[in-house]
Amino acid sequence: MKKATALLPLFHQFIKDSETGKRLKKNGAPIKKQSLDNYKYVLNNLTLFSQDTEFELRLCDASKLTKREYTSEKNYWKKFYKKFTSYLYKKGCYDNYVGQNIKVLRTFFNYLKKEKDLPTGDFHQMFYVRKEEVDILVLSPEQLKFLIHDEAFHHKLSPAQKRVKDVFVFGCTTGLRFSDLFLLTNKNFEKQGEIWYLKVKSKKTKTPTAIKLPSYAVEMYQKYASKSNRALLFKPVSLFIFNRTLKEIGEKAEFTQPIEVVRERMGKPKKILRENTQKQLRFCDKMSSHMMRRTAITTLLILGMPEHLVRKISGHSSGSVSFNRYIHYAQVYIDKEIDKIHRKLETYNPE
């Protein structure tokens, strides 16, 4: 077997080159922070995996391998894939997370081959990237309307809960991501005549959008606006606290209808129950920051806004797979509402 090289130092270099701009995307754009965070999660997982299982992570020069050496190297990477994915599954991870780790590893091997000119072979092409379809959970128009307008409920909340609820409602209205919401300042708001617009450029997609604000969103802006154009509109809060508080708000709002959430491990479905219990999940248990953007998109579709206009607001491309899932969800909701009308029309009770 040819001389082996430790893998983890090369992975550190992969992250460093991605952070400094030495490594770029195919279109020449810098690597996004979210991708960098994913790389670091994978590095941490690889480090712990190697320590806990005593599995040596190494690379060897795959050029000019004998037939026997090639077969041995191929078996090494088959063994790594099986052991590493099993390690993640035993920690409680699901297919999407495990698949994301493998996807990053494939990117790393392509970097070694194409950018560092290291002859590592194509063994990484054997790594299967698992995926699972996770159900979209969004507020119904009725639930969103309740959070917007029910004053009695609003007064039952603590000051911290009121702030989180306002941010959540604003996100459900505008479709902004959690990170983008907490970057808003007065400069993002513009009044034209009697109409207020929110003008933003998504931190993730770099897509500029101008969103006409409804009166309740304008009231929220005026409530939290500072005299300084540099001051943030919403006081920063950690994602963990935001999501925890959101679940408390959902419980107080009695969004406690039981829901079934199924995740997959190695393609096998597993029903998810409430933490530390064997009870079924409630809707409020799954409320999180992700629900804001999804609610905004599906609400616009349900209310009849053309798809191309919703995509313009959300920043999705015309061929976006995730956007097609929102379309499907919205259509299912509309079909259920139509069914209610049809059932009423099928009976006649003259008075």
pLDDT tens, position by position, 70-114 = 999 999 999 999 999 999 999 999 999 999 999 999 999 999 999
Under the banding of pLDDT at 50, 70 and 90, the label for residue 64 is confident
Q: How far apart (Å, rounded) are the C-alpha atoms in residues 97 and 195? A: 43
pLDDT: which is higher, 200 or 156: 156
Rounded mean pLDDT, 275-304: 87
**Could you tell me which of 161, 293, 162 has the C-alpha nearest to residue 223?**
162
- Segments of 107-207 assigned E as strands: 189-192, 195-201
Q: Do both 147 and 271 map to the same domain? A: yes
pLDDT at 2: 66
Q: Do both 155 and 293 map to the same domain? A: yes
Q: Is residue 202 part of a domain?
A: yes
Beta partners for residue 109, in sequence order:
none
- DSSP H helical ranges for 227-306: 239-252, 290-302
Reading the block at residue 88, the tokens are 């993640």
pLDDT: which is higher, 342 or 31: 31
Q: Do both 107 and 175 map to the same domain? A: no
Helices (H) and strands (E) in the chain, counts: 13, 7
Beta partners for residue 196, in sequence order:
191
Q: For the chain, how big is the Rg over CA atoms in Å? A: 25
Q: Do both 192 and 315 map to the same domain? A: yes
Contacts of 44 (CB under 8 A, 6+ apart): none
| Residue after which a domain boundary falls, among 94, 126, 158 | 126
Q: How far apart (Å, rounded) are the C-alpha atoms in residues 80 and 336? A: 48
Q: Give Cα separations from 292 to 74, 105, 169, 173, 270 (angstroms).
A: 45, 31, 7, 8, 26
Rounded mean pLDDT, 296-325: 76
**Could you tell me which of 213, 233, 238 has the C-alpha nearest to residue 223?**
233
Q: Do both 80 and 215 map to the same domain? A: no
Q: What is the DSSP string of 283-295?
A: GGGG--THHHHHH
Please count the CA atoms within 13 angstroms of the CA of 172 that sit on its side-chain side. Answer: 27
Q: Do both 102 and 201 map to the same domain? A: no
pLDDT tens, position by position, 136-145 = 888 988 999 9
pLDDT for 308 beyond 90: no
**Could you tell me which of 55, 314, 25, 326 has the C-alpha nearest to residue 180?**
314
Length of the chain: 351
Under the banding of pLDDT at 50, 70 and 90, the label for residue 15 is very high
Q: Is residue 99 part of a domain?
A: yes
Q: Is residue 159 part of a domain?
A: yes
Q: Do both 27 and 147 map to the same domain? A: no
Q: Do both 150 and 292 map to the same domain? A: yes
Cα angle 167, 172, 175 (rounded to 5 degrees) comes to: 105
Q: Do both 111 and 146 map to the same domain? A: no
Which domain range does residue 178 map to?
Answer: 141-343
Q: Do both 115 and 246 map to the same domain? A: no
Rounded mean pLDDT, 195-208: 76
pLDDT tens, position by position, 230-268 = 999 999 999 999 999 999 999 999 999 999 989 999 999
Q: Do both 98 and 148 map to the same domain? A: no
pTM for the structure as a whole = 0.77
pLDDT at 208: 74
pLDDT for 196 beyond 90: yes
Burial 295-311 (b: 16+ CB within 10 A, else e): bbbbbbbbeeeebeebb
Q: How many separate domains does the chain show?
A: 2
Q: How far apart (Å, rounded) are the C-alpha atoms in residues 53 and 83? A: 9
Q: How far apart (Å, rounded) are the C-alpha atoms in residues 174 and 196? A: 13
Q: Is residue 134 part of a domain?
A: no
